[in-house]
Amino acid sequence: MRKVANFCDYFVICSASSQRRAAAIAELIEEQFDELGLKLKSSQGKREGMWILLDYGDIVIHVFFKDIRDYYSLDRLWADAKRIHVRKSRSTNSKSPKKER
C-alpha cells in the first residue's frame, strides 16, 4: 500500500464463509497481534461480522463475510498496490507439531 495510500503500509484482506467465522478470525488476529505487542488502534463491525476492520496503524485488516467481500471488491479498488500472497494454513502455531513415537 505504500505507493498507493498514505494511511497504512499493508492491507490484509480475507474472507470467511459465515459471520461467526469472520468474528472468530478477527478475534484470533487480535489475540496473536496482542501477543506480538501490536496495539489495536480501532476496530469496527465486530458485532455484525459482515465486514470487520482492525486498524493497527501501518497494518489495516479487513475480514469479510464472503458475499460482502465480493460486493465491495477492495481487491479491485486497490489493484495498483503490490500483492503479497500468504500461503493458507489451518495452524496458528509457527512450529510444526512433534510426532509422537
* CATH code of 25's domain: 3.30.460.10
CB 68 within 8 A of CB 50: yes
Q: Is residue 96 one of the residues assigned to a domain? A: no
Q: Is residue 34 one of the residues assigned to a domain? A: yes
Which residue(s) pair with 65 in the sheet? 16
Rounded distance, CA 25 to CA 45, Å?
13
Q: Is residue 3 one of the residues assigned to a domain? A: no
Comparing C-alpha atoms, which of 54, 58, 48 is closest to residue 9? Answer: 58
Structurally, the chain folds into a number of domains equal to 1
Q: Is residue 52 one of the residues assigned to a domain? A: yes
Q: Is residue 93 one of the residues assigned to a domain? A: no
Question: What's the mean pLDDT when you consider all of the chain?
Answer: 78
Q: 20-69, pLDDT tens digit by residue? A: 999 999 999 999 999 999 999 999 998 888 899 999 998 889 998 888 87
Q: Is residue 91 one of the residues assigned to a domain? A: no
What's the half-sphere exposure (Cβ side, CA atoms, 13 Å) at 80? Answer: 5
Q: Is residue 15 one of the residues assigned to a domain? A: yes
Query: By residue range, what is the domain housing residue 49?
Result: 10-77
Rounded distance, CA 93 to CA 89, Å?
10
What's the pTM value of the predicted model, to 2 decimals? 0.70
Q: Is residue 29 one of the residues assigned to a domain? A: yes
